[in-house]
A and B are shown apart, each in its own frame.
Chain A
């Protein structure tokens, strides 16, 4: 199988495993290898945390079996390669939902644990890892551990958010969340600047389970940070309505020769989106699919960024300096004429993350895509890191392909403690980069 099937979602950097082993059944031992190894789920990490250049990738796609589901309690056990999409397809008709979901349903359960992913309900539910009751971990010394917040709790804390480095996660048990139906009550409000965002966010957290905002990353001056705030709750049941097809959407057919998101399209796209509705506020009912996963409707949308791929940047800055820091980040992005139309702002809650290396922490998080324009893009991201470092924030490894090892150690103060749990047989492009080790 050609290595190019094992890229990351940003299609940067170029990395080729020396070997790929696809598991067909739950393993009782790790594959033998002369190189380091790393599990590869569904390749939705943006940067290099899911890559292992010249090493072994363990393709988890064949470990896609459910093990048990109790429809009375919502406790689901499955293999690590099961996708969140598969879980939704099974449980939504039975009145259950993912306790936490990221912006795509095409991530594996193993990947959701390894990155301790979060969603629009972070302010009430915390991260995905908080809802993991137990996980199976296979280590290169031959041990098979069952880890939970109570048993092997130190291994659990290291593995949740542990970037797949503590061993192979083979299975997990998750506590789902009750819903009455597949529809959402969505309230959408336009806001004209960053201060208005913070006001709406503060006023929404108590009454809305899901909150997130889109921001116009090209706006400056008194329009800096303008956008749309989307807040929602699960809707009480409203009888039978047809479900939109999940996997039937269009596919972006090829990698465009140049990025479709460039200097000529960036500002018009953002301005048009900001002015897409005349009314500054609207309430409507939406199926959960378009609400949670608008981009899943277009397969391979990442191809629109052209042959050089793109870099995503997601950071969090603590509440204390959040307004100033977010304003400075947006100003630096707008001044550079960079970014895309996929810019997202959200206030994290104070629910503690369960992993030693979890990214979410109290504060405000900003996420954007940048078409890879080479050195100028990397220089801008370094300038953003200056702001985040000065504010005492952090950058999300699942989306990173370039942060320095100095920045990483500042963002993740538990790194030294975490190292004791890293399996000596495991590594990744990301890990070698941020620890300054060779493969």
Chain B
């Protein structure tokens, strides 16, 4: 039985992943900003088989709240061995390009606060000599593109941070799992026209659970995104700059 902390548990993708943990009989500690939605998800995960589900309201942007939240999760679950960081925002690229404060805010949520959280978790897991740390990044982090480079660069920072963390924690036996979803049909992308590349949150949630179970270092979900991003990152600038990506 895993003892799982999910930060940003009210996200659609996180909820789908959590259902797999619940069905496997894992204990869960959830955080999110909306108390009512946390309560509804708590009830659901209990019905689906999680022996313990506890929840705490927290805004992950508030770095000073992290340590107490992790302590509370450990106390509620009697320890901690798996963390999934699932929150994030998809900022409006045009607003971020126009306003430095918007760009920095997007970085604070998608990179800075995650790095703060993962640093605290990493130190604890390194001391206990075990555990799995997973965070949802994005294929957008593989190459900066005009359409979403502020979001993409924050995820790129997170990717490099997690690569280094994985390297550091290898000796301690701690797994670090970077999840890179492509486009997913969730409230975050509600305003997008959905093409054939959009995946369901059910599929992505199942892939996340599998990646954590296996300790996959970098998980593209759905898997075809690894090929797409390999091509996009390999495009020579002379061609890349003429695309509308």
| Residue pair A25, B47 in contact (C-beta under 8 Å) | no
Binds A, one of B36-44, B73-81, B135-143, B235-243: B36-44
| Residue pair A65, B36 in contact (C-beta under 8 Å) | no
A335 close to chain B: CB less than 8 A: no
Which parts of A336-375 form the interface with B (CB within 8 Å)? none
**Main secondary structure on chain B at its contact with chain A?**
helix
| Residue pair A2, B193 in contact (C-beta under 8 Å) | yes
How many interface residues does A have (CB within 8 Å)? Answer: 15
Residue of B nearest to A94 (CB): B49
| Residue pair A66, B48 in contact (C-beta under 8 Å) | yes
A202 close to chain B: CB less than 8 A: no
Total residue contacts A-B, CB cutoff 8 A: 36
Chain A positions 6 through 36: 1 when the CB is less than 8 Å from some CB of chain B, otherwise 0 = 0000000000000000101110000000000
Cβ–Cβ < 8 Å partners of A69 in chain B: 47
| Residue pair A26, B40 in contact (C-beta under 8 Å) | yes
| Residue pair A66, B37 in contact (C-beta under 8 Å) | no
Question: Given the complex of chains A and B, what is the CA–CA distance between A268 and B73 in angstroms?
Answer: 65
Question: Given the complex of chains A and B, what is the CA–CA distance between A66 and B18 in angstroms?
Answer: 14
| Residue pair A25, B36 in contact (C-beta under 8 Å) | yes
| Residue pair A66, B36 in contact (C-beta under 8 Å) | no
Chain A positions 102 through 141: 1 when the CB is less than 8 Å from some CB of chain B, otherwise 0 = 0000000000000000000000000000000000000000
Cβ–Cβ < 8 Å partners of B12 in chain A: 24, 62
Cβ–Cβ < 8 Å partners of A66 in chain B: 43-44, 47-48
| Residues A67 and B193 in contact in the complex (CB < 8 Å), given A24-B12, A24-B187, A25-B37 | no
| Residues A1 and B194 in contact in the complex (CB < 8 Å), given A25-B36, A26-B40 | yes
Residue of A nearest to B202 (CB): A247
Cβ–Cβ < 8 Å partners of A5 in chain B: 194
Question: Given the complex of chains A and B, what is the CA–CA distance between A342 and B190 in angstroms?
Answer: 38
Cβ–Cβ < 8 Å partners of B40 in chain A: 25-26, 65, 67, 79
Cβ–Cβ < 8 Å partners of A2 in chain B: 193-194
A342 CB to nearest chain B CB (Å): 28
Cβ–Cβ < 8 Å partners of B194 in chain A: 1-2, 5
Question: Given the complex of chains A and B, what is the CA–CA distance between A25 and B47 in angstroms?
Answer: 17
Name A residues whose Cβ lies closer than 8 Å to a Cβ of B. Answer: 1-2, 5, 22, 24-26, 62, 65-69, 79, 90
B222 CB to nearest chain A CB (Å): 16
Cβ–Cβ < 8 Å partners of A65 in chain B: 40-41, 43-44
Which parts of B1-49 form the interface with A (CB within 8 Å)? 12, 34, 36-37, 40-41, 43-44, 47-48
Jot down 18 A-B pairs with beta carbons below 8 A, ordered by A.
A1-B190, A1-B193, A2-B193, A2-B194, A22-B187, A25-B37, A25-B40, A62-B12, A65-B40, A65-B41, A65-B43, A65-B44, A66-B48, A67-B40, A67-B43, A67-B44, A69-B47, A90-B47
Cβ–Cβ < 8 Å partners of A24 in chain B: 12, 37, 187
Q: Could you say which of A22, A26, A68 contacts B190, with CB atoms under 8 Å apart?
A: A22
Question: Given the complex of chains A and B, what is the CA–CA distance between A52 and B36 in angstroms?
Answer: 30
